[in-house]
């Protein structure tokens, strides 16, 4: 058996080095470009069975964080309650699932709703792994060994005022900086550190934190960090943290900005559960944004345009695709926000029903909260499910509803998919024969 595992691992590594396969890592939230685009080729067109055969499955504990993959390793975080309450960063061999290392630190959850575990995916960059926990613990670890390179502790290093459901936004590497929406006071909603030493480089904003991960865009020749805080969408100079622009998005009921801002062709799209959708245009001649449109219904049942919760929408050409409050998959006209169609077959209808979507060539891969993978085609004419199969079973820790949910975003790397629930982390091949 040991010899067989060695052979399989060697085959897996050979695939990574084969130019024709175009193997690619998934080192951060929503993929290499943080844009929900999966660029690998040689991917299957249909599933041969109603259940996807697993390459491996390993036990883990509870958590909402999606796995990330880099340099032959898979990273994920979870929460354990014994012998003491703690969060963990786990690292596994991507080919075999063999555990490589575990980093554990005490973490008592206080004042946090939905206590299932860490939210933010681990960010990997040049041999370093950055893990941000629910209470605001930030660790930079050696990705090969799990050794601590540097760390920041809530209450000790920063006065973190975590939002209702905890610190959640995946850290962003930009040049020599690590940037995170930390939600600290004073004036440290967003903080940047030297990614190698942990020395603080800048801090910005008195805003309350949200759950949306930051992105970076180019505007008027500058790199701009775009962050959707609890008070509005802001553009910060990536080098200094200086505020370049702000567009207020005051919450109607509560801060529930979770979906990542989507950047497309000079425009930024936002969507949240109670507050509806915004489309903003970057100004070309100066540092600012203009509102193209904002649409919101009167409540979560009577919605307009798109009221997303966990699922970050996709923009394909001139159309927006996303999941509304109770699982309605919708297509919107990008220019107006008008709804072109709605479909209720991609996920079972429930409050907060969720789908994570990534684009690969001309298809959209969906992972719904029932643990199904769907190979689909999304066009202005409708949703077409080309093939669907069960990858992993939902569990009740993340949400105690029915059989439970799968709310963590999967990773797509090395022509495989990596997904987790509250019991296991699994890997399955998606390579075409």
Residue 62 is predicted with a pLDDT of 98
**Given this model, what pLDDT does residue 11 score?**
44
Q: In whole angstroms, give the CA distance from residue 386 to residue 147.
A: 44
3-state SS string for 291-305: EEEEECCCCCCCCCC
Percent of the chain with pLDDT over 90: 93
Rounded-to-integer distance, Cα 256 and Cα 43, Å:
35
If we measure between CA atoms, which residue out of 310, 305, 301 comes closest to residue 352?
Answer: 310
> Out of 2.60.40.3710, 1.20.272.10, 2.130.10.10, 3.60.15.10, which CATH number does the structure's domain 2-429 have?
2.130.10.10
Q: What per-residue confidence (pLDDT) applies to 15?
A: 45
Strand-pair category, 56-59 with 128-132: unpaired
Q: pLDDT tens-digit profile of 125-173?
A: 999 999 999 999 999 999 999 999 999 999 999 999 989 999 999 999 9
Q: State the distance between the two ends of the chain, measured CA to CA, in whole angstroms.
A: 24
Average pLDDT over residues 177-183: 98
pLDDT band at 17 (very low <50, low <70, confident <90, very high): very low
Residue 2 has pLDDT above 80, yes or no: no
CA 274, chain centre distance (Å): 20
Closest by Cα among 149, 139, 27 to 88 = 139
What's the average model confidence in pLDDT over 96-102? Answer: 98
For residue 14, is pLDDT > 70?
no
Q: What is the pLDDT of residues 120-135, one digit of tens each?
A: 999 999 999 999 999 9
pLDDT tens figures, 27-53: 999 999 999 999 999 999 999 999 999
Vertex 271, ends 373 and 352: CA angle to 5°? 50
Question: Residue 16 has what pLDDT?
Answer: 45
Domain limits, the chain: 2-429
Please report the pLDDT score of residue 128 as a whole number: 98
Average pLDDT for residues 240-250, to the nearest whole number?
97
Q: What number of residues does the chain have?
A: 433
Which whole-number Å values give the CA distances from 200 to 61, 133, 149, 239, 420, in the listed order?
32, 18, 15, 12, 33
Instruction: Match 């309650």 to its residue by tokens.
Output: 81
Say if residue 253's pLDDT is above 80. yes
Rg (CA), the chain: 20
Q: Name the helix (H) or strand (E) containing 16.
A: helix 2-16
Instruction: Tell me how far the alpha carbon of residue 413 is from its chain's centroid.
Output: 15
CA geometry: angle at 217 spanning 213 and 222, to 5°? 130
Q: pLDDT tens, 200-243? A: 999 999 999 999 999 999 999 999 999 999 999 999 999 999 99
Provide the pLDDT for residue 23. 77
pLDDT at position 22: 58
Helical segments of 263-359, H only: none
Give the distance between the most distant pair of CA atoms in the chain. 63
What is the spatial distance between Cα 139 and Cα 153, in angstroms, rounded to a whole number? 9
Exposed, middle or buried: residue 111 (CB in 10 Å: 0-12, 13-18, 19+)?
exposed
Per-residue confidence at 433, pLDDT binned at 50, 70, 90? confident
Q: What is the pLDDT, as a whole number, of residue 287?
A: 85
| Contact of 243 with 234, CB cutoff 8 Å | yes
d(CA 433, CA 418): 19
């Amino acid at each position: 058996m040991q010899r067989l595992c060695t052979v399989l691992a060697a085959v897996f590594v050979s695939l990574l080095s084969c130019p024709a396969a175009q193997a690619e890592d998934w080192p951060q939230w929503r993929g290499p470009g943080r844009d929900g685009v999966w660029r690998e080729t040689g991917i299957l067109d249909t599933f041969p069975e109603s259940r996807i055969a697993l390459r491996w499955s390993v036990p883990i504990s509870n958590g909402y964080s999606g796995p990330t993959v880099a340099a032959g390793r898979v990273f994920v975080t979870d929460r354990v309650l014994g012998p003491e309450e703690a969060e963990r960063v786990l690292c596994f061999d991507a080919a075999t699932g063999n555990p490589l290392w575990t980093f554990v630190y005490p973490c008592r959850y206080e004042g946090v709703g939905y206590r299932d575990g860490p939210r933010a995916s681990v960010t990997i960059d040049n041999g370093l792994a950055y893990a941000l926990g629910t209470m605001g613990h930030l660790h930079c670890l050696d990705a090969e060994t799990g050794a601590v390179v540097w760390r920041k502790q809530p209450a000790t290093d920063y006065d973190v005022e975590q939002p209702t459901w905890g610190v959640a936004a995946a850290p962003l590497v930009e040049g020599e900086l690590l940037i995170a929406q930390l939600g600290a006071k004073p004036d440290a909603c967003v903080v940047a550190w030297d990614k190698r030493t942990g020395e603080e480089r800048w801090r910005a904003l008195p805003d309350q934190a949200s759950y949306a991960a930051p992105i970076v865009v180019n505007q008027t020749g500058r790199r701009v960090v775009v962050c959707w805080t609890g008070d509005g969408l802001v553009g910060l100079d990536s080098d200094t943290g200086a505020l370049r622009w702000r567009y207020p998005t005051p919450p109607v009921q509560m801060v529930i900005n979770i979906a990542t801002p989507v950047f497309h062709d000079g425009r930024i799209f936002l969507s949240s559960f109670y507050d509806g959708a915004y489309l903003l245009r970057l100004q070309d001649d100066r540092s600012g944004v203009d509102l193209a449109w904002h649409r919101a219904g009167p409540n979560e049942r009577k919605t307009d345009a798109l009221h997303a919760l966990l699922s970050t929408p996709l923009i394909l050409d001139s159309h927006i695709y996303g999941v509304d409050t109770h699982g309605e998959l919708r297509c919107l006209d990008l220019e107006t926000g008008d709804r072109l169609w709605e479909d209720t077959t991609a996920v079972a209808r429930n409050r907060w029903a969720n789908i994570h979507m990534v684009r690969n060539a001309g298809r959209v891969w969906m992972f719904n909260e029932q643990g199904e993978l769907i190979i689909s085609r999304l066009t202005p004419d409708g949703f077409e499910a080309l093939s669907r199969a069960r990858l992993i079973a939902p569990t009740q820790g993340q949400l105690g509803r029915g059989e439970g949910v799968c709310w963590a975003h999967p990773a797509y790397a090395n022509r495989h998919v990596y997904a987790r629930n509250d019991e296991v982390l699994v890997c399955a091949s998606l390579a075409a024969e």
